[in-house]
Amino acid sequence: MLHQDLLEQARGIAGEIVALRRAIHMEPELGLETPKTRDKVRAALAGLPLDWREGPSTTGLVATLKGGAGPGRTVLLRGDMDALPMPEETGLDFASTVPGTMHACGHDAHTAMLAGAVRMLCERQAELKGEVRFMFQPGEEGFHGAKFMLEDGLLDPLPEAAFALHVMPNARHGLVAGRSGALLASADQFTIVIEGRGAHGAMPHQGLDPVPVACEVVTALQALVARQFDAHDPVIATVAQIEGGTAHNVIADFATLKGTLRTLSPRHRAKLHAALEQLATGIAAAHGASARVTITPGFPVTNCDPRAVDLGEAVAQDLFGEAAFKRLDQPIMGAEDFSYVLEKVPGAMFFLGVAHEGVDWHKCPSIHSPRMMVDEAALPHGAALLAGCAVRFLEKGWE
């Protein structure tokens, strides 16, 4: 059985975990450069027996704790640090002081929980056999921070296992959830520019109107997804933005479509890219127009190793009880750049419910909402879970 006092140990430092979360929440930072957040982490963990590494591409940190019981396995725990470019509407006393920037995806909580796990494991250094690395990562919100930290060599030599945690504000308080295989989707961006020929709005025959062509592409895209892809290997193609024209009586020279592509397998990801190009250029050509398709690759599929999910389930049940863990029946079509780590290292990401106890969590604002809230009473659970995964792996590996 797992060390039974991990949860009590986490509760004992709840004040420090919450204080760090609130300090980060008040000063959110975007992208790959999060120096204030980095400095808060370093200050919170000052004086602990850690070796620190930083790279040239980001303000990310990797701290290493070497167990006092000798060499052994190596495990990685990861927390992300960046915020979102959006206003905050929570009304919290510690709300963002940076206009138009908010921790609306819980990365402040992720960082604070990871820092809590660091403190807990440092207290247990003498009994640990092996090595724990702690990855404090910026640039998760579309900036590929994990990829840059990998390329900078901050995780070399690669660990044998990796774990991460993501809060869910609209999930039952304290519930831990995960699944083997695809947990989250790949996420790519696309831009389609339909090039026509401008004219007066009253004389469309003198030009080549790109707007109806763009509309036809949108409609055909929905049929493409429904008819060319296996429904048991889901694909989503969403046109989220359409731009064209400058005035009510002017036919535009071009129209632009922008959107996102989500898949759960490399096979469908490649097929969707090719199909989108064929569809857009073919429809445009049928109208005498042309189309330029640009696809910007995003995060790959987040695939969780079955052994890591089993380990996380065992830890959650040891710490919080048999009902604490839920196996998700289906993947979630969001995306996560921890996927870059899981491409190279067997591991898993888990979700932690942080809705306030007693509320109807179905109605709580979700991540990426300006009104997203976190019940801070759940944060010690997250710190204990991360620490527990590390302890269990160092002790037993994939047994």
Tokens (6 digits) for 223: 């049929």
Identify the CATH homologous superfamily for domain 6-184+301-396.
Zn peptidases (3.40.630.10)
pLDDT attached to residue 3: 61
Rounding to the nearest 10 degrees, give the CA dihedral for residues 339, 342, 348, 351.
-10
Smallest CA-to-CA distance from 164 within 341, 392, 368 is with 341
pLDDT > 90 in the chain, percent: 97
> Whose CA is closest to 367, among 141, 202, 56?
141
pLDDT of residue 76 exceeding 80, the answer is yes
pLDDT of residue 220: 97
Cα–Cα dist 100/9, whole Å: 37
pLDDT at 137 over 80: yes
Q: What pLDDT score was predicted for residue 2?
A: 56
The pair of structure tokens assigned to 180 is 């083997």
> Which residues is 162 bridged to in the sheet?
76, 347
Is the pLDDT at 1 greater than 60? The verdict is no
Burial label for 310, CB within 10 Å (0-12, 13-18, 19+), is middle
Separation of alpha carbons 108 and 24, rounded Å: 6
The H or E element containing residue 327 is strand 325-327
Which tens digits make up the pLDDT trace of 304-321?
Answer: 999 999 999 999 999 999
pTM exceeds cut of 0.85? yes
Please determine, for residue 358, whether its predicted confidence score (pLDDT) is greater than 90: no
Distance CA 3, CA 21 (A): 26
What ranges do the domains of the chain cover?
A: 6-184+301-396, 186-296
| pLDDT tens per residue, range 157-205 | 999 999 999 999 999 999 999 999 999 999 999 999 999 999 999 999 9
Torsion of CA 6, 7, 9, 11, to 10 degrees: 170
* Residues in contact with 248: Cβ distance below 8 Å, sequence separation at least 6, in sequence order: 201
- Structure token digits, residue 162: 């990796």
For residue 242, what pLDDT is reported?
Answer: 96
Residue 128 has pLDDT above 70, yes or no: yes
Q: State the Cα–Cα distance between residues 215 and 257, nearest whole angstrom.
A: 9
C-alpha 27/C-alpha 333 separation (Å) is: 29
Fill in the amino acid letter for 7: L
Contacts of 221-228 with C-beta under 8 Å, sequence gap 24+, read 221/276, 221/279, 224/275, 224/276, 224/279, 228/271, 228/275
Contact 121, 128 (CB under 8 A): yes
Q: Give CA–CA dist 76/352, Å, rounded.
A: 18
Share of the chain above pLDDT 70, in %: 99
Instruction: State the pLDDT at residue 25.
Output: 98
Domain 186-296 = CATH 3.30.1330.60: no
Q: Give the pLDDT mean for 14-30.
A: 98
Structure confidence by residue, pLDDT tens digits, 254-307: 999 999 999 999 999 999 999 999 999 999 999 999 999 999 999 999 999 999
The closest alpha carbon to 335, from 300, 368, 306, belongs to 300
Cβ neighbours of 136 (radius 10 Å): 28
Instruction: Evaluate if residue 16 carries a pLDDT over 90.
Output: yes
Q: What is the mean pLDDT of the chain?
A: 96
Structure confidence by residue, pLDDT tens digits, 229-257: 998 999 999 999 999 999 999 999 999 99
